[in-house]
Amino acid sequence: MNNRLQVLMRFLPTRLVTGVCTCGPVGYWGKAPGTNGTVLGVLLYTVVFFPLSLVGQILLALILAGLAVLFCDEGERRLQKRDPGEVIIDEVVAVPLCFIGLQGYMAQTGAVWLYMLAGFGLFRLYDILKPLGISSLQKYPGGVGVVVDDLAAALATNLTLQLLLLAYTRGGWH
């Protein structure tokens, strides 16, 4: 990670850093903060990502993932915890990846809610169980370790949704 950016992050007020990491009070609500972050991620995709082109979605996802790594790295330091449960910005920025490349199909079928619900459920499943080597990604230090496993869970979700869509459209399921 760029040392200059890390140094700049240290000058930000703790309240700002932890507020971004926990999405304000949302990371402290209830017993399943990761689910709260997933809900926010679905909202982020719906409001911000859905209208963008594929290239726009990818660029925005990269920018947000980079910012999340910076904030999570500094957030761990400020909260003095490794991968704190209340830090949910990692889920928020990862969830839009679940749906990248699918908005055309969602709009065409008119079943946007079905894709969103399936993506939500699959992402939570992959995020909690961490199969397919996703759990090993948490070994990375700092913000990278906090964010990368969620990005992998989102990509696994996207691949699963793409394969289900392919099976449905080409496999004679309809």
Supply the pLDDT for residue 105: 82
For residues 111-132, one letter each, b for 16 or more C-beta atoms within 10 angstroms of the residue's C-beta and e for the rest, the string is ebeebbebbbebbbebbeebee
* pLDDT tens digit sequence for 48-72: 999 999 999 999 999 999 999 999 9
Which structural domain, as residue segments, surrounds residue 144?
3-170
Residue 172 tokens, joined: 């004679």
More confident residue, 84 or 6: 84
The confidence band for 1, taking pLDDT boundaries of 50, 70 and 90, is: low
pLDDT at position 145 is: 93
Instruction: Give per-residue pLDDT as tens, 91-131.
Output: 999 999 999 999 888 878 777 888 899 999 999 999 999 99
Q: Identify which has the larger pLDDT, 138 or 117.
A: 117
Look at residue 32 and give its three-state secondary structure: coil
Which residues 6+ apart lie within 8 Å of 76 measured at CB? 82, 83, 84, 87, 142, 143, 146
From 174, 146, 44, 34, select the one nearest 100 (Cα to Cα).
44
User: 115, 105 in Cβ contact below 8 A?
Assistant: yes
Kindly report the number of other CB atoms within 10 A of residue 42's CB atom.
20
Instruction: Provide the number of structural domains found in the chain.
Output: 1
Residue 174: pLDDT over 70: no
Which three-class secondary structure state does DSSP give residue 120? helix
